[in-house]
Structure 1
């Protein structure tokens, strides 16, 4: 599941390894938020470098229509509502450079 904002949103068949990675990410997000997120919707409450690191993962989950558990969906929704995330998305969509072999992946 490569990072491609221009890819139409549609599900793909995930390998067992990819499903295991999704489950691990959901576990990390839920654990961080349960331990530290009482002060806000992000992994450690307020937006931090950890959230910036996971921003591309949030986009991949959205782009490839990967279903996530409710605890993880709460985080995905918070990230997607963040003005900086929306600006980053708009700027990425405005990019005109395309690499054809990745456009239909």
Structure 2
């Protein structure tokens, strides 16, 4: 099995797919493709990223190919058992699935205003009203998950799982853009940031030589 990801400093969807692969417990090869590098248009139409039209992450499991981070997580969940990714309790699992789906499809203002940039810290960033609404919605979801289902550990549903995988890039954004958060959210963010897999991703992102100028500045 192998997963193809983009630059670890910038590619939020790659982080989700990679964390899902780690959470599966299966061994896999990791291939990093620098986004928007030389001959990018030709690169994304060829080789092993062609099935997704150059979008990352993309997972190959022998002859099986899966792209899109949520599809990758669900494929791996089918392969190793859903309890590795999702809460066992029906109500908790329903909320976790809803949160993951909302993260997958929503929060466009936060995404556009705060591109993921793991190694950078932006001073004086002020989100738009739409960005603030996204932030408040995310914090509300985190608060409900932690208060209702988080007693078993420091993560959204106690133990590390699918919801944490999907909100990991948000944690990175909140840190990079120095978004003020309440204490419970700061504790959750610290737990996720210090997770060994996140630390491995962060370390790799800091050693990358690639830079994408448009994501290194804030308008």
- TM-score relative to the length of structure 2: 0.46
Partner of 2:160: 47
Task: Tell me the distance in 1 between the aligned counterparts of 2:207 and 2:166.
Answer: 21
Deviates more, 1:62-71 or 1:80-89: 80-89
The match for 1:78 is 191
Report the counterpart of residue 16 of structure 1 in structure 2. 129
Aligned match of 1:61 in 174, 189, 193? Answer: 174
SS in 2 for 1:38: coil
| Structure showing the higher helix proportion among its residues | 1
CA contact (8 A) 1:39 1:46 kept: yes
Which of 141, 152, 156 is 1:28 aligned to? 141
Structure 1 portions without partners, runs of 5+: none
2:162, 2:208 → 1: CA distance? 24
Secondary structure of 2:180 counterpart? coil
Report whether the alignment pairs 1:4 with 2:114: no
Distance (whole Å) between structure 2 residues aligned to residue 31 and residue 85 of structure 1: 24
| Larger Cα-atom Rg | 2
Structure 1 outlier segments of 4+, above 4 Å: none
C-alpha RMSD of matched pairs (Å): 1.2
Deviation at 1:11, TM superposition (A): 3.3
1:104 aligned residue: 217
Name stretches of at least 5 consecutive residues in structure 2 with no aligned partner.
1-113
Q: Is the 8 A contact 1:7 1:104 kept in 2?
A: no
| CA distance in 1 between partners of 2:203 and 2:123 (Å) | 19
Give the structure with the higher percent strand: 2
Q: Deviations over 1:10-59 (max 9, x none)?
A: 23011111111111111101101111111001011000011011111001
The count of residues paired between Structure 1 and Structure 2 equals: 105
